[in-house]
Amino acid sequence: MPFASHAHVTRDADLPNITIHCEHVKPDVVLIHPPSVFDFRERSIVYGPISDVIPSTPVFEMYPIGFLTLAAFLRRHGYRVRIVNLALRMMRSRRFQPEAFLRKQKPKLFGIDLHWLPHAQGGPAVAALLKQIHPEIPIVFGGISATCFHRELIDDPSVDFVLRGSVTEPSLLALVRELEGERRFEDVPGLTWKRGGEVIVNPDAVLPASLDDFDFDLGMMIREVVRHLDFWTSAPFQAWWRHPITAVFTVRGCARRCVTCGASSSAFRRFMPGHHPLLRSPEAIATQVRKLAQITRTPIFLVGDLRDGGKAYASAVIDALARVPVSNRIVFEFFDPPDRDLVQRIDAAILNWGAELSPESHDESIRALLGKARFTNARMEEAIEAMLASRCRQLDLFYMIGLPGQTTANVMTMVDAIEQLFIRFDRRLSAFITPMAPFVDPGSDGFADAESHGYRLRARTLVEHRALLETDNWESMLNYETEWMTRAEMVEATYAAAERLNDLKRRYGRISDRRAAGVDIRRRAAREQRGEQRASTEGTLNDKAELFEPGTFLRNFRLGGILRMLAGAFFSAPPRLRVNRSSVQSRAT
């Protein structure tokens, strides 16, 4: 594949070599991930702890996994796709000019994600810029928030299409084919679009039986890095090369009814087409784990509680993983405590494993109000005991501030309860507290029926949320307060609880003195409204290295596996396929 001769070279401490950026063949589709706030580099924003327990920074530069599955699906049907993490490129250098970069991109279609609502400002702003410089190229939005707000989003003059649904890969393929064919957009399932001044909402797409046909293509990802000689434009998030977090998404949708979650079972019934949860088969999960382990040594997270597919499904996944043993740590996600039989089954099948458990609160009555799961603290401690009596290498507990029924006093009692767990169990057990920020999810029960759940909302529309994101501190960004806590009280309770938890982690050997001191400095800076962007990107309430241990490139990656996968990807580029309209179906709403 020929490259243009113009290139520039930059060095980066995170990489073993150099980063080269150069021109490349024109893609058919460019998928763009925007920053949360497009002009964040020109603003002074105290983000605080709104992204402390996820890999990305408060700019939310981590793009959704759907970008990878969309790209892989289109590639299998003969189309070239480029992923552009615009948020990350803007973060890495103030000299990077998004307008100049986007001007060079000339695909048939631009795609922008509005999956997480914190992109309610950045997504439409990028669309407006694209429409200004490429008025002839259509723009499509997709994602959970785009589906929820599809009618408001399509009214934006910069937005040509919105794809609704949790599985939009076949519909995106149909849209691309219509753009280069007869342009019969009424034939694209799950599409909201405009014809003249009229908004048209096509029938919903029929969901597949499983997620098995919607995988990401690791070879393609590696090949794109090499083709563009660019380590950063398609990197998932800022610290990717030092913290290459890998995950297998076992499910789309959820069986739980968390009051505040826009992907809960009740929320999806409200606005997401089809029946959920939609599962990936045990064999497909094991295959993805094996492929990830071929190129990386880092932990592999299984996103989603396997038990939501039923006991037999969870057992089948564990059996499938046992048939493809890997040395990577496999991390299981639990929404309520696993029983001893399941722990023993995991321990017998998997040599190196860990777990994440989300009690959300120490208070059983608050957990009941939240709606995720009902269980006693005694049951949770039995599960912790069982996991730590096994080969479980790490067990992280996650707690939240901003829940129904929660008061400041209750938050501080929650920290006391965590200390008792630290006293009882060894250092493999740790805990994290984070505020529910910045939003109660639109579509959730707590949003749709806020008052009955004790929430008072400050924003309901996409435009109103965009305005909150343009404020200068995270207290002002919150789209809610509760009957029991004001926004100011939630902020103060967050910092007070985090200060005490950090001290407990240091005292009970969960973190080093040096790491605890760094957290103290960043938390104080944010609390005194001096933290702004740099402090918050490192974690305000905790050090992100507690969750995502850093390492050198050679420690994180398996070069032999990368080279083999790269060779396979270069020699397996599929030909352009013919349009097969029967492969994409729709159903009447």
Domains and CATH numbers, the chain: 21-212 (3.40.50.2300), 243-546 (3.80.30.20)
pLDDT for the residue numbered 439: 96
pTM for the predicted model, two decimal places: 0.89
Residue 303: its H or E element: strand 300-303
Average pLDDT, the chain: 88
pLDDT band of 20, cuts 50, 70, 90? very low
Does position 233 have pLDDT exceeding 80, yes or no?
no
Does position 15 have pLDDT exceeding 50, yes or no?
no
Beta bridge partners of 279: 251
pLDDT for the residue numbered 503: 97
**Residues 569 and 560 sit within 8 Å (Cβ to Cβ):** no
pLDDT for the residue numbered 236: 72
Per-residue pLDDT tens over the stretch 395-441: 999 999 999 999 999 999 999 999 999 999 999 999 999 999 999 99
Q: What is the mean pLDDT of residues 257-261?
A: 96
pLDDT for the residue numbered 589: 38
**C-alpha–C-alpha distance, residues 200 and 185, integer Å:** 10
Token pair of 491, please?
Answer: 């902020």
Does position 579 have pLDDT exceeding 50, yes or no?
no
**Percent of the chain having pLDDT more than 90?**
72
pLDDT for the residue numbered 499: 96
Per-residue pLDDT tens over the stretch 558-568: 778 777 766 76
pLDDT band of 527, cuts 50, 70, 90? confident
Least confident of 114-128, 253-267, 543-557: 543-557
pLDDT for the residue numbered 583: 45
Strands annotated E in 132-262: 139-142, 161-163, 191-195, 198-201, 246-249, 251-252
91: which residues sit within 8 A by CB, 6+ positions away? 35, 57, 59, 61, 238
pLDDT band of 545, cuts 50, 70, 90? confident
Residue 331: its H or E element: strand 330-334
Does position 21 have pLDDT exceeding 50, yes or no?
no
pLDDT for the residue numbered 17: 38
